[in-house]
Chain A
Amino acid sequence: MSTVSTTARPAGSPSRRRRATWPGRGGHLFVAAYVVLLIAFGVVPTVYAVYFAFTDAGDNFAGVANFVAAAGDFRYLSAIGHVALYLVCWLVSLVVLVVGLALVLHRVRSAGVSRVLRFLYYIPGALAGAASVMVWLFVLDPTVSPVSFLMRALGFSTFGEVVAPGHLPVLFTLIAFWTGAGGWIVVMYGALNNISPDLLEAARIDGAGAWRTAWHIQIPLLRKWIVYMMILAFAGGTQLFVEPQLLSQASVGVAGRDYSLNQLSYDFAFQNNNVNTAAAISVELLLIGLVVAGVFVARSGFFDAD
């Protein structure tokens, strides 16, 4: 202690002065790179999209004309329907299965088995999105699929039968779940580990079994994590693009290249050379994501202190 006090710099030293004028500079430096990238590739493109959405090809203010044009397109309503149906399948399966699997994983007694399971859950998420879809293109083709016996048992003998339009919401949900749910299972597992063992012990002493413990103790305490997952999964789900786009290519168009709103926006931009209407659709998706996130946060008390 004495050493510290004798070697401490006087209050007016240059180092002290710098700290006083720039408090928390370490933190600022840590986030600076992120902030720069966020502005360059997040904020500026978003503002640019909003600018496009309210102007025409000649850069004149267009009011809501681009939004009207998008809504008037013959593919618009069907794309909304496709995305809505997919979101229902995707969000329900995500919540039920992720929470269920995390609870099961949490009850696994063997540390080794738990570690292996967590690793296996996480692996698909480590693959890039497009690569994951490519894997599924093979899995879904009964001629080359390693689970072709399963598909033949379900009555599918060709790729065309598997990718019938009515099956697409389920197929996209399967792909998205396989790609993205593993990470969430690991997150939920971590959250479950944060629940006080005393609480679980008390529940056990009170006679609560696994089901009652999960329903009355663990799931309510996971609520904020579930809401967080829902917000991100909803935003990601409305952006559906890679899965239908690649499936469309692989099925030589059977799956349709304007299945989702993002695909429709892409088509407007690069097929119809209408960037303004494309931007209007992307702004709509942004607004929907923000509104739904707001509703989730408000209804769940996401920011309430425990």
Chain B
Amino acid sequence: MTAKADAAGARRATHRRARFAGLALGVAAVLAAVAACGNGGTGAGAQNGFQPVQQTGGKLTVWVDSTRLPAAQLYQKAHPAVKMDIVTYDGDANGSNYLQTKVSLFNRTRSGWPDVVFSSQNNEASWAVQAGFTAPLNKGLISDATLRGWAPGANDPCMVDGTLYCLRNDLAQTVLWYNAPLMKQWGYQVPKTWEEYQALGKRLATEHPGYLVGTAGDNFTPEIYLWASKCGANRITAPKAVKVDTTSAECTRMAALLDSLVQNHTMATSSVFSSDFDKNSADKVLMMPGPSWFGGSIFNEAFKTPAGQIAAAPLPQWAGDNAPSVGNVGGGTWLLSAHSANLKDAADFLTWVSTSDEYQGKVSPGYPAYAPAAKAWLAKQTSSGYYSGDITGPLQTAAAQVWPGWGYGQFSQEAIWAATVTPGLTAGKTIVSMLPDWQKAVTDYARSDGYEVSQ
């Protein structure tokens, strides 16, 4: 009986082993199949230059954020013959990395890439070229004559080793926005230097407490202030090399200025997008350094500042500094997929959306990077009657003064600042005291993205 039971048990064990082996083989086969699908995800474009896929035409898939949705819709209206699938996504706002995440997955599944994408981030080329996602645009897809229309340096974030991989949508050069009637009423002069700006902030704290000369609470604070001060927080020296120095005199002078104004409460520590700024401070802005899109998006749409109040002036400069410099906050880029099976329509859409007066000149909320459209855009702003005075001069001047020493690395400067400096600022620490922490954070994140970091 025992022997029989043992034999039966052995047979069952053998069967179990056989079944397990079968299952293991099945799992291994599935894994092998999945692994095979996962291999070579970067595609031929990453190593061998651009090799278009078979052009079969078909529907043009376009990804835009909600702000750029009218652009795609206008194109569709003007080109009814083009079949389009317009998809809205977050536009990678706040460095969400949505596009990179999806492209990484599409690369694995080898399908799903959109034909054209708008991103609010200027550093997309830093990863998208390596991922084989973007097509080179200055190798025949977009004519040289068209490309010459962009403002000088506007497409620098899109250049990798001399090849253009995206098109800049708008410039986001910083100027000094201010409330003209209030300035006049209180007898203040618009500051021309940062020293005058600081002195006016000191005077404002005494004479009109509660009013503001700006805010240091945004995650793009470094882009507005420290970039304009020529602080070398991330000077990209090679595709995978960066020089990080956040404690230079150029950095500390601006950090100290911000600290003094935060201390006397003329500079807020909340973001212009936060509900508490909107509720408590939106109508208390005397001055606010900010990008070109602040005029329409912040003062007009978010703060609902009445017409005839907001004016623009050149960004203050440091006394004695011979080379004027301003910062930049965003600007956005358009990318064309190297995997597109409809390159003709994709290139046509890309060209139209970034150059046309119908969108860029008349609808776009930001200062177009394409110079002819910028002229139309400025004319429209002037004729809108919203601004106090003509904002053309300051914006055009600033467009050529963006300091070129601030790089567009793969790591998000905004996210690093937000996680490293903003909580300390909220807790009452000075920015000057946190500059070394900022340096360490930039260095750590750059290294984790594969950059060689020098100090």
On A, residues with C-beta under 8 Å from B are: 43-44, 47-48, 51, 59, 73-75, 141-144, 157-161, 164-165, 249, 251-257, 269-273
Contact = CB atoms under 8 A, between A and B. Distances in A.
B414 interface: yes
Q: Give chain B's interface residue range (CB within 8 Å of chain A).
A: 35 or more
Given A164-B427, A270-B97, A254 B418 contact: yes
5 contacts: A44-B27, A164-B423, A270-B97, A271-B449, A272-B448
A284 B427 CA distance: 35
B101 to A, nearest CB: 4
Interface stretch (B145-153, B270-278, B347-355): B270-278
B31 A160 contact: no
B191 interface: no
A255 B104 CA distance: 25
A164 B273 contact: no
A254 B219 CA distance: 8
B94 A252 contact: yes
Given A256-B419, A270-B104, A51 B35 contact: yes
Contacts of A161: 426
B37 to A, nearest CB: 11
B27 A158 contact: no
Interface in B268-290: 269-271, 273-276, 278-280
Interface of B: 27, 30-31, 34-35, 39, 94-97, 100-101, 104, 127, 130-131, 217-219, 269-271, 273-276, 278-280, 412, 414-415, 417-419, 422-423, 426-427, 444, 447-450
Contact of B131 (A75, A164, A273): A273
B104 A141 contact: no
A47 B31 contact: yes
A52 to B, nearest CB: 9
Interface-centre pick from B96, B274, B423 (highest chain A CB count, 10 A)? B423
A142 B276 contact: yes
A267 B31 CA distance: 24
Nearest to A141: B275
Contact of B100 (A141, A144, A251, A270): A270
Given A254-B423, A257-B415, 17 more contacts: A59-B35, A74-B444, A75-B444, A143-B276, A157-B276, A158-B276, A158-B426, A252-B218, A253-B95, A253-B415, A254-B419, A254-B422, A270-B100, A270-B101, A271-B97, A271-B100, A272-B450
A143 B35 contact: no
Interface-centre pick from A44, A48, A253, A257 (highest chain B CB count, 10 A)? A253
Contacts of A160: 217, 269-271, 274, 422-423, 426
B104 A159 contact: no
Given A47-B27, A48-B34, A272-B448, A143 B279 contact: yes
A175 B403 CA distance: 44
Contacts of B274: 143, 158-160
Nearest to B412: A253
